[in-house]
Chain A
Amino acid sequence: MTPYEARLVRLSAWSCFLFILLFGVFWGVLGRNIPPYPPDMPAADLAAVYRAHAATLRIGFSVGAVSCAFLATWAIGLFRIMLKIERDGQILSYVQLVGGVLTVIFTTYTCTILLAAAFRPEQDPAQIRMLFDLAWLTLDLGFGVTTMQYIAFGVVAIGDEREKPLFPKWLAWLGIWVSLEFLVEIIMPYFRTGPFSWLGMFPYWLAFFGPFAWMTSVAVWMLKAADRLEAEYASENAPRAPRPQTTI
């Protein structure tokens, strides 16, 4: 990997940290989504919260929406590294790229939908709640592309034939597991309360903090990988010693 590209891959890894920080602070804290309000909250109460805190909610969701672009920049840098790992073709690297980029859709929409509620909080409470429902169902059930992304990465990283793989294989398996845990979201719509509702242990705490921890680890290893790939390139392209002169 050329030094120029390695620098961009490092930036891509940092964009992952940036996404988590911005999304966490803006959508999470300012957006009052850690944890979210429960599905069985009365519409009037939810509307009252949105009316009282509209100012912070608005900035939370607008910056949150923009921060989702960094999910794409992260996926692209990871794609570039995966191309150096994947033998016999590039399809799984593309699957990761596409999955990671499509994840941007669901995270962005969840912010803009909630922004709509915070934009006009004086509207009918039933409409506020409808927007809140829509935002959470969109975010939680858009996981298919993210699962696809993590599994593609996992398979490629597991198949890394280097003596010392660029990514630890346990990290690859952990990503596969985390992305399959998302499957619990399929039953989430049946529950207005309890550990399987959208703020429950399984659809929320494990399903959000699991991936954030995993992504952070992947980004750390991306930084190391960029160094190694740059060194590989440097040793492959080192100027060769001049051939000894032979006198005829």
Chain B
Amino acid sequence: MPRVGNQSSSAVNPGVFALPGEPAFWTFIAADSGLFALLFLQYCLDRASHLQGFIAEQSTLAAGIAVVNTVILVTSSWALAVAVQHASGGDRRLARQLVFTTSALGACFAALKVVEYILEIRAGHSFVAGTFFMYYFIITGIHLVHLLIGVLALTFIGARCVRDSESSRDTVILECGASYWHLIDLLWMFIFPLTYLAR
């Protein structure tokens, strides 16, 4: 089995402080985290200089679909965390089903998001309609693109990397995919209150 880079996953060495999966991949996760932190900052700066416009535009945004989506997303993260437990615990068939469940829930999130976008556009709010809506579409849009990539990745990982025979490379890939998906959830934990709830 060819070595795949630096495997310092603590699934291999329990008790060791290490990042899950391939440590180098976390550069990607850190960069994405930084990007969204910048987006949040930029949103706050622009809101401060267009306050009345933001408040007026945001008041027309309904949070119902987003609340459902948030619950869907945290459930999907839970399913994936359980999947990773089972993958290393031995019930790889259940793990595979749970990985597919995660990507299916992710697809539901995406579908509901698209419905939400269509409703907003029908109501006359497009991403050039005003500064708040620009941020609404762009921040949730970039998040959605990340999520769709995650759905594809998890579907692939479920099919190819959660097989009955144990393989350290498969474990690394599964952990990377899981870390990426949890990042998507983590980002949404700020995006949701920022765009929908905070006044």
Contacting B at CB under 8 A, from A200-224, are 201-202, 206
Which residues of the other chain, A, contact B35 by a CB distance below 8 angstroms?
181, 206
- Complex A-B: 14 CB contacts under 8 Å: A160-B5, A161-B3, A165-B5, A170-B23, A173-B27, A174-B28, A177-B31, A178-B31, A181-B35, A190-B127, A194-B134, A201-B42, A202-B38, A206-B38
> Does B32 count as interface, using CB distance less than 8 angstroms?
yes
Query: CB < 8 Å: which of A172, A177, A178, A196 contacts B138?
Result: A196
State in angstroms the CA–CA spacing of A158 and B176 once bound together.
Answer: 14
In the complex, the answer to whether A194 meets B24 with C-beta atoms within 8 Å is: no
In the complex, the answer to whether A195 meets B25 with C-beta atoms within 8 Å is: no
Asked, given contacts A187-B138, A195-B46, whether A169 binds B32 with beta carbons under 8 Å apart, the answer is no
Shortest distance in angstroms between A156's beta carbon and chain B's nearest beta carbon?
13
Give A contacts to B, CB under 8 Å. 158, 160-161, 165, 168-170, 172-174, 176-178, 181, 183-184, 187, 190-191, 194-196, 201-202, 206
Which residues of the other chain, B, contact A183 by a CB distance below 8 angstroms?
145
Q: Mark B17-49, 1 if CB is under 8 A from A, else 0.
A: 000001111111001100100100010001000
> Does B58 count as interface, using CB distance less than 8 angstroms?
no
State in angstroms the CA–CA spacing of A184 and B142 once bound together.
Answer: 9
Asked, given contacts A177-B31, A196-B134, whether A190 binds B24 with beta carbons under 8 Å apart, the answer is no
Main secondary structure of the interface of A (DSSP, over half): helix
A176-B28, A187-B138 given. 17 additional CB < 8 A pairs?
Answer: A158-B5, A165-B5, A169-B24, A170-B23, A173-B25, A173-B28, A177-B27, A177-B28, A181-B35, A183-B145, A190-B127, A190-B128, A191-B128, A194-B46, A195-B46, A196-B134, A201-B42
Which residues of the other chain, A, contact B128 by a CB distance below 8 angstroms?
190-191
Which residues of the other chain, B, contact A202 by a CB distance below 8 angstroms?
38
Which residues of the other chain, A, contact B24 by a CB distance below 8 angstroms?
158, 168-170, 172-173
> Does B2 count as interface, using CB distance less than 8 angstroms?
yes
Shortest distance in angstroms between A201's beta carbon and chain B's nearest beta carbon?
6
Which residues of the other chain, B, contact A201 by a CB distance below 8 angstroms?
38, 42
In the complex, the answer to whether B131 meets A170 with C-beta atoms within 8 Å is: no
Shortest distance in angstroms between A154's beta carbon and chain B's nearest beta carbon?
10
In the complex, the answer to whether A169 meets B127 with C-beta atoms within 8 Å is: no
Q: Mark B67-105, 1 if CB is under 8 A from A, else 0.
A: 000000000000000000000000000000000000000
> Does B6 count as interface, using CB distance less than 8 angstroms?
yes
Which residues of the other chain, A, contact B38 by a CB distance below 8 angstroms?
201-202, 206
Shortest distance in angstroms between A217's beta carbon and chain B's nearest beta carbon?
12
State in angstroms the CA–CA spacing of A17 and B31 once bound together.
Answer: 24
Which residues of the other chain, B, contact A196 by a CB distance below 8 angstroms?
134, 138
Which residues of the other chain, A, contact B131 by a CB distance below 8 angstroms?
194
State in angstroms the CA–CA spacing of A202 and B138 once bound together.
Answer: 12
Which residues of the other chain, B, contact A184 by a CB distance below 8 angstroms?
142
In the complex, the answer to whether A174 meets B42 with C-beta atoms within 8 Å is: no
Which residues of the other chain, B, contact A195 by a CB distance below 8 angstroms?
42, 46
State in angstroms the CA–CA spacing of A14 and B42 once bound together.
Answer: 36
The 10 closest A-B pairs by CB, nearest first: A169-B24, A170-B27, A170-B24, A177-B31, A173-B27, A173-B28, A195-B42, A177-B28, A174-B27, A173-B24
